[in-house]
Amino acid sequence: MQAQPKLIDAFGRTVNYLRLSVTDRCDFRCIYCMSEEMTFMPRAQILTLEEIYQIAKAFSELGVTKLRVTGGEPLIRRNILELMNKLGGLQGVDELLMTTNGSHLDQMAQGLQQAHVKRLNISLDTLNPERFKRLTRTGDLQQVLRGIMAAKEQGFERIKLNAVILKNRNHDEVVDLVRYAVEHGFDISFIEEMPLGQVSEHSRAEAYYPSYQIREDLERHFSLSSVSDKTGGPSNYFKVDGSVSRVGFISPHSENFCSQCNRVRLTAEGRLLLCLGNEHSVDLKKIVRSHPGDRELLKQAIVEAMKIKPEKHEFNLQEKPVIFRHMSVTGG
C-alpha cells in the first residue's frame, strides 16, 4: 500500500488535525467570544458545504485523520447533517468531532450520532440560569441542559464540556461544574480566555483566572491524578479519582502548548489559518472557486502552507488585542 503523504511544518510538527468553521453566525453572543452587535459575513463569502467537503477531502488525502466541525454555532448551518454524513464517510478520517453550544442538540443529537460523529464538545460555563443569560447574552440554560441530556442518551463515545472561566463571573462554579460532569460521566475542560477580537464588556486582564488556580480550587474537593496520554491537544488532563471523568486545562497564558501543535483551522470564509494566535493564512476559497474540482492544486497549496505555520501564538493580555478576528470566525 502506498504510504499516505504527511503534512509537516518547518518545526517538524506533523499536522493531522483540521478544525472546520462552517459558519461565523451564532444564536448566542457569549461575552468572551463576540460583541453584542456583530456584523456577520455576507453569505456569498462563506464556503458552500460542497467547498468545505472538497477541502476536507484534500486534507484527508494528505494524512489528516481527525476533523472537528465548529463555528460560530455549527448546528445552525443549514443542511449541516448532510455535510457531517459526507465527512464521516471520508477515507482515512477516523475521528469526526463537533463543538457546539448545545442549543439545538435536543433535535439534532440523533442525526449527529447517525452521521458517525464520535465525540461532542459542548460549551457550558455555568449551571445558574441568570448567569447563563448574562454570559451568553441570549442563551437559555434549560434548553442547553436538555440538549446535553439528549446527547447523553445517544451514547456518544465521549462528551466533553468546555467552560471558559472568568474571574468574578463563574470562577466560583468550577467545583459544581465538575460534580455535574462526574454525575453524567462526561469530561470537562476549563479554558483560559484568549484575547481574540475586541470585546468591550470586560477587561480581559482583569477577568483572567489561571488554570493552576482552578486546579487548586478543585483539589480541595476531588482527588485528581495526572493522565499521561497526551493526544497532541492543548489540554492537560487529570482523572477525577473514583469516576470515569477527566478534567482538562487549556491554558494558553499559564502554559504554552504550541510545541505539541498538530492542528490547523479552516475559517468560515475559506482561509486556512495556521495558528489561532497569529494571522498567517492561505486563501483556499480562491483556489476552490477559480479551479473547481482541481484537488491536486488544492493539495499543493495546503502542503506549501505548512511552511508558514508559526512556531507559537503571541497572546498577551496586557496589550490591546493583536488578533482582530473573533473566535466565532476562526472556529474554536
For 38, phi then psi, to 5°, come to -115, 140
Q: Which does 196 bind (CB under 5 to 8 A by kind): ligand SAM, ligand SF4, none?
A: ligand SAM
| Residue 328 interacting with ligand SAM (CB under 6 A) | yes
Q: How many residues bind ligand SF4 (CB under 6 A)?
A: 13
Residue whose CB is less far from ligand SAM, 57 or 104: 104
| Residue 191 interacting with ligand SAM (CB under 6 A) | yes
Grid coordinates belonging to 27: 444564536
Residue nearest to ligand SAM (CB): 332
**Of 33, 34, 68, residue with least CA distance to 233:** 68
Of the candidate residues 15, 68, 72, 159, the single one contacting ligand SF4 (CB under 6 A): 72
Contact indicator for 14, 7 with CB cutoff of 8 Å: yes
Contact indicator for 68, 231 with CB cutoff of 8 Å: no
- Give strand ranges (E) for the chain: 7-8, 14-15, 17-21, 66-70, 95-100, 119-123, 158-165, 187-192, 224-226, 235-240, 246-250, 263-266, 271-273, 281-283
Q: Which does 70 bind (CB under 5 to 8 A by kind): ligand SF4, ligand SAM, none?
A: ligand SAM
Residues 22-61 that bind ligand SF4 (CB under 6 A): 26, 28-30, 33-34
Strand partners, 248: 189, 237
Grid coordinates belonging to 323: 488578533
**Of 29, 70, 248, 69, residue with least CA distance to 160:** 248
CB of 102 to ligand SAM, least distance (A): 8
Q: In 10 A of CB 95, how many CB atoms?
A: 16
Of the candidate residues 9, 73, 173, 187, the single one contacting ligand SAM (CB under 6 A): 73
Stretch that binds ligand SAM, among 7-15, 40-48, 52-60, 192-200 (CB under 6 A): 192-200
Of the candidate residues 16, 23, 60, 123, the single one contacting ligand SAM (CB under 6 A): 123
Strand partners, 310: none
| Residue 166 interacting with ligand SF4 (CB under 6 A) | no
> What residues contact residue 118 under an 8 Å CB cut-off, 6+ apart?
95, 96, 97, 156, 157, 158
| Residue 192 interacting with ligand SF4 (CB under 6 A) | no
Judging by beta carbons within 10 Å of its beta carbon (0-12, 13-18, 19+), is residue 248 exposed, middle or buried?
buried
Residue whose CB is less far from ligand SAM, 17 or 32: 32
How would DSSP label each residue in 27-69? S---TTT--SS-PPPPGGGSPPHHHHHHHHHHHHHTT--EEEE
| Residue 268 interacting with ligand SF4 (CB under 6 A) | no
| Residue 196 interacting with ligand SF4 (CB under 6 A) | no
Residue whose CB is less far from ligand SAM, 247 or 298: 247
| Per-residue binder mask for ligand SF4 (CB under 6 A), 73-112, x = binder | x---------------------------x-----------
| Residue 207 interacting with ligand SF4 (CB under 6 A) | no
Query: For the chain, how big is the Rg over CA atoms in Å?
Result: 19
| Per-residue binder mask for ligand SAM (CB under 6 A), 25-64, x = binder | -x-----xx-------------------------------
Q: Which residues bind ligand SF4 (CB under 6 A)?
A: 26, 28-30, 33-34, 71-73, 101, 123, 327-328
